[in-house]
Amino acid sequence: MNPLVIIFRTHSDVEASIVRSLLDAHGVRSLVSSDVSHAVFPLSVNDLGEVRISVTAADADDARQIIETHRHDVPSGQLVRIRDEFEDLQRAIDYRFRDRGLLEHAMTHTSRANEDVSGGVRDNESLEFLGDAVLGFIVADLLFREFPQFDEGQKSKVKASLVSTATLARRAEHLALGDQLLLGRGEEKTGGRQKQALLADAYEALIAAIYLDGGIEQARAFVQREFAAMLAQVRAHGVVGGDYKSALQEFLQSRDRPLPEYRLSGTVGPDHRKQFQVELIVGGTAVAQAVGPSKKEAEQQAARLALERLSAGDAPPAGGGE
């Protein structure tokens, strides 16, 4: 049986995670150990104590060489991170963490924690729980302040759309959050970086991490930046997330007008890149027509055009379109 040899020491959970990932990428299995038991939320780097990475004696020389070839040289000889794996993410979210351990915590999926035999890695489930509550409060507060004309039902509908799994996953994809996740080997192999539920959970955990690191105002500023375009949609059309068909139907019903009818008027392009042409009819009159990669998308675009034109009192005659 090969004895274990300590080949790396650090006071940073983030750096330890980076080194383990680096070794794992080169096929070297490692073990993390620490004299400090970890709490629910990450401690500051100064409080973590020493974190040690060990490999078998047979792998020790190779592991040291792998680490050295990736280490940055500094004149002072001071230990620095091999790479700051969250630098791109901090730029993307326009927020710099004082305690980067919180950001690491937010990006750690339970599959990664379950595969760590040392028990020192914490998953992001508790942060996800907190982030869900923080996001819900901030969105409710924004809607209360910015849309006083909306009744409770309208605000609830918009809020539900803003905090839905689909919306949060899209925001996570916009930030390339999937690239930053710390996943276990099994989750990595099954495409965890693209899973909608996993991305939405990580996004909520990120909001919680910002809240814990910088307070409610920093979390509010982040949410306002992230949801600015969707809130603008609500101001313009009373709809969020592109559901123009529902918005158009409600618009027409509120004015006692007939419900819209969508007719497929044709297709264009080759089979592998087919575009669908949809005509939108209201009361026997063609109000708008649009093209999209699917009938559903074409209908949404036609509804958007119709909503804009009917709201402005400028519905075109039959045959009109974009």
Mean of pLDDT values over 10-25: 75
Tell which residue, 140, 138, 104, 132, has the closest CA to residue 218: 138
Distance in angstroms (rounded) separating the CA atoms of residues 14 and 89: 14
- Split at pLDDT 50, 70, 90, the class of 8 is confident
Neighbour count for residue 159 (Cβ, 10 Å): 18
Residue ranges, comma separated, of all CATH 3.30.70.1530 domains in the chain are: 4-83
CATH classification number, 4-83, choose in 3.30.70.1530, 3.90.226.10, 3.30.360.10, 3.40.50.360: 3.30.70.1530
- Count helices and strands in the chain by DSSP H and E runs: 13, 6
- Split at pLDDT 50, 70, 90, the class of 318 is very low
Residues marked as catalytic: 132, 204
Cβ contact 260:249 at 8 Å:
yes
Cβ contact 139:154 at 8 Å:
no
Tell which residue, 237, 239, 285, has the closest CA to residue 263: 285
Share of the chain above pLDDT 90, in %: 34
pLDDT tens by residue, 142-173: 999 999 998 898 888 889 888 988 789 889 99
Architecture of 125-237 per CATH? Orthogonal Bundle (1.10)
244-311: CATH topology is: Double Stranded RNA Binding Domain (3.30.160)
Cβ contact 110:126 at 8 Å:
no
Per-residue confidence (pLDDT) for residue 84, from 0 to 100: 59
Residue 194 has pLDDT above 50, yes or no: yes
Per-residue confidence (pLDDT) for residue 38, from 0 to 100: 45
pLDDT tens by residue, 68-121: 766 544 343 344 444 456 888 999 999 999 888 889 899 999 998 888 766 666
Tell which residue, 189, 209, 48, 191, has the closest CA to residue 118: 48
Describe the strand order of the beta sheet including 4-10 as a list of residue ranges: 4-10, 51-56, 31-34
Residue ranges, comma separated, of all CATH 1.10.1520.10 domains in the chain are: 125-237
Which one is predicted more confidently, 120 or 22? 22
pTM attached to this predicted model: 0.56
